[in-house]
Structure 1
């Protein structure tokens, strides 16, 4: 299956928190979108990997993505090396996306910046003919594939975006997808330990950040992204 967009996240819920409204909008506009989670989030303070698996599947259904996979890298301990790069490359060559979205280049959680660089490096390496990959031992050798663009969504830190996507009309779908991770976010009745993402303020920040980014570009809601190279337009009228 060829996808238009593949969204990578170091943990289940990264894609939703960073780009959930953009994903929902692209799906609504007819794009085929997939999500690939690098880990199962097994080190999360609340819940378990098995719970996160179910929550991720529920969220994927809400967003309407075509596929969601998990590479089961070690949460907190995966590294940017050949073995992990090849795991990403297999996904890129399997789905052949034009666009890749991935973690913030710098963030509070060490897995976010590390996952960002891992995916970015793999996107380049995936285009090299002499790197041979197969989905399994009995499969055919995959053809090389390099996405046209790699964009990084914004997470905990308020990084200045290079561009903002107008997601007006899709923030409710993003919120619904986030709340599918009921073990992870604000629940006044929960007896589990508090974490930086379990406060009501954090959950509220998803909407007020989107409102503020929207305000800055003259729309209702926005999601921001950073780029690795200059953004090109065909004409000045493409800029809004």
Structure 2
């Protein structure tokens, strides 16, 4: 399956929180997007592997992505080693994206920064034809995406660029709230939620998601935006790239 964008998240819900507005906007433009979760989020205080799987599928449907899969690495304990790098390479060669979106370079959760390095290494090595990988018994061709962009998560990191998601913010929040075991929702409240409260399960947390999008949107004169960091220099062929139509 050839995709335009392949989004990686180390935990199911990372993609929704970090870059789902961008994904929804891309899908609305007719682009093909796939998601790969590295772990099943099995160490999360709330919910189970089974509930996270169901929630991830519901969120994928809300975002309109073409595919979503889970590599089942060890939550909290996965390492940047040959086995895991090869798993990511297989996914990259399977989906052949032009752009990869992945976790923050460093963050409150140590998995985030570690996974970003893992994906970044795999994205480069995926382009080396002498690294052999197979999928369903068929040898894969080498593939290297043009860009790897890191979305911003819990900690504020100054973005290199931001994406206007104003038209898709409501849909982004619905994708996040598909994780009913992880985040506050009216449904959880009605069901007399008895699981332990966490940093992300309080009613106030979702306001921080909206607040971050408002902050980044303000920087470019729109209502909501998502921010990205790129280690690769970004270039333009004309100043027309900066010109927006006004009404």
TM-score under structure 2 length normalisation: 0.94
1:60-98 deviation digits (Å, cap 9, x = unpaired): 001000000000001001011100000000001111000
Matching residue of 1:225: 228
| 1:39 correspondence with 2:39 | yes
- Give the whole-Å Cα distance in 2 for the aligned partners of 1:3 and 1:175: 24
- Give the whole-Å Cα distance in 2 for the aligned partners of 1:115 and 1:167: 25
What is the RMSD computed on CA atoms of the aligned residues? 0.9
Matching residue of 2:9: 9
Matching residue of 1:206: 209
Matching residue of 1:174: 172
Matching residue of 2:21: 21
- Give the whole-Å Cα distance in 2 for the aligned partners of 1:33 and 1:140: 23
User: More deviation in 175-184 or 185-194?
Assistant: 185-194
Matching residue of 2:158: 160
In the TM superposition, what is the alpha-carbon distance from 1:239 to its structure 2 partner? 2.6
- Give the whole-Å Cα distance in 1 for the aligned partners of 2:85 and 2:12: 19
Structure 2 unmatched runs, 5+: none
In the TM superposition, what is the alpha-carbon distance from 1:32 to its structure 2 partner? 0.1
Matching residue of 1:62: 62
SS of equivalent to 1:151: strand
In the TM superposition, what is the alpha-carbon distance from 1:16 to its structure 2 partner? 0.5
- Give the whole-Å Cα distance in 1 for the aligned partners of 2:173 and 2:6: 20
Structure 1 unmatched runs, 5+: none
Q: Residues 176-195 of structure 1: matches in 2 within 5 Å?
A: 176-187=174-185, 188=189, 189-195=192-198
In the TM superposition, what is the alpha-carbon distance from 1:183 to its structure 2 partner? 0.2
- Give the whole-Å Cα distance in 2 for the aligned partners of 1:220 and 1:117: 31
In the TM superposition, what is the alpha-carbon distance from 1:190 to its structure 2 partner? 2.0
SS of equivalent to 2:201: coil
Matching residue of 1:75: 75
SS of equivalent to 2:51: helix
- Give the whole-Å Cα distance in 1 for the aligned partners of 2:202 and 2:105: 24
- Give the whole-Å Cα distance in 1 for the aligned partners of 2:193 and 2:157: 31
Matching residue of 1:146: 144
